[in-house]
């Protein structure tokens, strides 16, 4: 079984944008939602570029600061970074670690706070 295909499928199924970055801030993966969300800035063409190029100076400083904090301890793994009132969501930076707990990258996590409108087990039958 190809586990990379499964991991990719999990990320692509997420309704929230997911952008994975290396320690040097290179975007290595964007799920489908992220490509659509950031289409006016290049969408999937952002893969391979620095995520720092996509932010203002203050945001770049904070991204670097958070990454430094992640590196200080294996227990430093998530930081609340932004409240988007218009979209009713919270945004976090999350550390990515290997099996030994070593920092290998990070991603931005969006959590929408709207109540679900779908009925339980709504299958559309």
With CA atoms as reference, report the closest residue to 76 among 50, 106, 51.
106
pLDDT value of position 115? 87
Task: Give 77's contacts (C-beta < 8 A, 6+ positions apart).
Answer: 70, 94, 95, 97
Task: Give 57's contacts (C-beta < 8 A, 6+ positions apart).
Answer: none
With CA atoms as reference, report the closest residue to 50 among 69, 63, 37.
63
Domain ranges across the chain: 3-112
Question: Distance between terminal CA atoms of the chain?
Answer: 31
Residue-wise pLDDT for 74-125, tens only, equals: 999 999 999 999 999 999 999 999 999 999 999 998 999 988 888 889 887 7
Tokens of 62: 């904070």
Question: What fold characterizes domain 3-112?
Answer: Beta-Lactamase (3.30.450)
User: CA dihedral defined by 103, 84, 40, 60, rounded to 10 degrees?
Assistant: -40
pLDDT value of position 56? 95
Residue-wise pLDDT for 37-58, tens only, equals: 999 999 999 999 999 999 999 9
Contact indicator for 18, 43 with CB cutoff of 8 Å? no
At 54, which helix (H) or strand (E)? none
pTM, entire model: 0.88
pLDDT at 1 over 90: no
């Amino acid at each position: 079984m190809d586990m990379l295909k499964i991991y990719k499928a999990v990320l692509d199924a997420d309704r929230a944008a997911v952008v994975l970055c290396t320690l040097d801030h290179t975007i290595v993966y964007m799920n489908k939602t992220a490509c659509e969300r950031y289409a006016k800035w290049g969408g999937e063409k952002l893969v391979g570029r620095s995520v720092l190029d996509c932010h203002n100076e203050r945001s770049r400083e904070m991204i670097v600061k958070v990454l430094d904090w992640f590196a200080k301890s294996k227990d430093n793994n998530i930081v609340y970074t932004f409240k988007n009132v218009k979209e009713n969501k919270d945004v976090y930076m999350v550390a990515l670690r290997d099996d030994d707990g070593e920092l290998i990258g990070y991603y931005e996590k969006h959590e929408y706070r709207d109540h679900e409108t779908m009925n339980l087990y709504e299958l559309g039958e």
